[in-house]
Amino acid sequence: MTRSSKNENQNEFDPYTFLRIIRNPDGSLTRSETFPPSPPNSSPTGPVLSKDVPLNPAHNTWTRIFRPHNPNPSSSTTLPIIIYFHGGGFVLFSAASQPFHAFCERMASEIPAIIVSVEYRLAPEHRLPAAYDDAADAIRWVRVDSLRDPWFDSGDPSRCFLMGGSAGGNIVYHAALRAADLQIAGLILSEPYFGGEERTESELRLVRDRILPLPANDLLWSLSLPDGADRDHEFCNPLVGGEHEDRVGHLPRCLVTGHGQDPLVDRQRELVRMLEGRGVKVVSHFSEDGFHGVELFDPRKLEELMSRIMDFVSSHKITSQL
């Protein structure tokens, strides 16, 4: 790592304009819709059914559940359950946003699996750890209340995975630390969103990245971390330890993926080294090409990620029988 200069030249880049958000006098945000929302699919003709289910009415949270019409009978008589958390720097997007809806549909169809996509609370209206609390609600719901839902009749609770992309990957990590007493089969962290006060080489090299430029990244953290916290807070920087540090070594198997043209790739590699150093079994894949969130836009990268998820999920069935 190299210490950042206080005079990093950003050419008066406006991160609020870049992120299409406006800060209101009361501290809330007005967000412009980047991706259109997709409704749940109740049509019997498609490969996947989906429906929205309330999670915590007091917090106005909910889940979108995806279930394949005709699971592949050769894979298993039951389906794995994947609890999914979308990206957006804790500030943007929804479980209903079109790219995340489409991604979950594809997972449900191809793995196949029951997908529970979580509509968690966004910052700065609800700063961290609100999203982690909502994740805990979702895990408890899947573990207890979902058993009364006929959509889960074909689900296998012993094969329950947590998955997230970008900020969703961060949520997976922290939610798993808080759910150490529950049986989670594995964690899937796609380009997980972490940071720190010191700049990494990839952050400086990609300071003007077209997806996650450094000023926008810094703004997202300032909006989502607890008031007064800097980027070396435990929610942002997993290397500093924190309240649940003693639980890191008890995390289940992890799949971590990243790309060389992502400003956060050095953070993701650091996470892998830290987890392995604590004795966690990690499967990691880092490609030289690809940018942050590339799988939402590039069919080839989506296919690669889907294949790795399928291998990781199916390998649990094999190892658990040994």
Which sequence positions are flagged as catalytic? 166, 262, 292
Q: Which residues contact 108 (CB under 8 A, 6 or more apart)?
A: 48, 50, 66, 67, 68, 114, 115
Cα distance between residue 92 and residue 31, in whole Å = 8
Cα distance between residue 22 and residue 99, in whole Å = 23
**Bond preceding residue 226 cis, omega within 30 of 0:** no
Angle at 102 between CA 99 and CA 104, to 5 degrees: 110
Placement of tokens 């799988």 in the chain:
295
**Strand pairing of 155-165 and 114-119?**
unpaired
Q: Token pair for residue 29?
A: 């945000």
Residue 87 and residue 164 in contact, taking contact as beta carbons nearer than 8 Å: yes
Q: Per residue in 165-199, is it b (16+ CB within 10 Å) or e — as a string? A: bbbbbbbbbbbbbbbeeeebbbbbbbbbbbbbeeb
Q: Which residues contact 28 (CB under 8 A, 6 or more apart)?
A: 124, 125
